[in-house]
Amino acid sequence: MNTAHTLIIRHCRNQLIARGWPSSLEVDTNQHYRAGDGVAFYGKLETKTLLALLPVLEAKGLLEETVVAELKEIITDTRSSVLLNRNHLSERYSHAGTMTLRYSSDMQAPLETIQLLLKALRAEINDICGRVAADGYRLCDAVNPSYRPSVFQRKTRNFVVSVTETKPAEQGIDEWSNDALDSCIDAILQKNATFRTLQIRISYGENNKMLGRSCVPYVKRLPDQPVRGWFGRELLRDAVTEAKGNIADMLAALDSFKRAA
């Protein structure tokens, strides 16, 4: 799973839990700036969860007080559930429209009342999916290379240090703790931070022959922050070490050539 998808799925789970939905739901995401892309979740809403969601749906104006009272009477002390199933669209997409809702219970219930429950749940699903999808595009933009991937270039008499944004590695973020993921998501959505993966290259000569190169993942930058505020010298360490090794090899080869000549 790539970096953006990991962040989006974590963000979706956080939103579900905050709204009273179970953390056990399976979350899918597919965001590539195409129509129909977004986020969806599948699983089962048990009796306990449904009862907990009723006041939430009422507070949002999705269910009337009388309907909530009737549903509590219908659902309490029964084995009722709502299944969030995949439909045929889920083979290609992930969004609210790929989810089908089905009510199940061991007790007979008025069809009209159950339909009102499913309609309210559908409205809440649409809202969750829409909000997370919108945030998801911001998360994608924050971790993937921008349209101007060249960050900066510094030149001396003999050397050039160039820094460019590159595609983040597929691995690495899976090892982050949930707290680290939440901190990253909050920085992106609340502070407009970016977490780019940077390629650092040290070269020399007219043809920019490479001496050293390194890749530094998830470097945090805040809007309008000057380079000196986020690019520490420690980020150059691996590229400089490689460059020094290559320079030493060239000097040794040159010294050997002089002795041979």
- Of 142, 158, 193, the domain-final residue: 142
Assess whether 133 and 164 both reside in one domain: no
Task: Kindly report the pTM of this predicted structure.
Answer: 0.87
Assess whether 133 and 11 both reside in one domain: yes
- How much is the pLDDT for 189? 97
Q: Are 22 and 49 in contact (CB under 8 A)?
A: yes
Per residue in 48-106, pLDDT tens?
999 999 999 999 999 999 999 999 999 999 999 999 999 999 888 899 999 999 999 98
The residue segments making up the domain with residue 222 are: 150-260
Assess whether 60 and 182 both reside in one domain: no
Assess whether 88 and 157 both reside in one domain: no
Query: Residue 197 and residue 204: Cα distance in Å, rounded?
Result: 23
Residues of the chain below pLDDT 50: none
Q: Are 10 and 18 in contact (CB under 8 A)?
A: no
- Of 120, 142, 164, the domain-final residue: 142
**Tokens at 165, concatenated:** 């944004």
**Tokens at 168, concatenated:** 């983040």
Assess whether 220 and 244 both reside in one domain: yes
- Of 142, 175, 194, the domain-final residue: 142
Assess whether 31 and 122 both reside in one domain: yes
Assess whether 134 and 19 both reside in one domain: yes
Assess whether 81 and 196 both reside in one domain: no
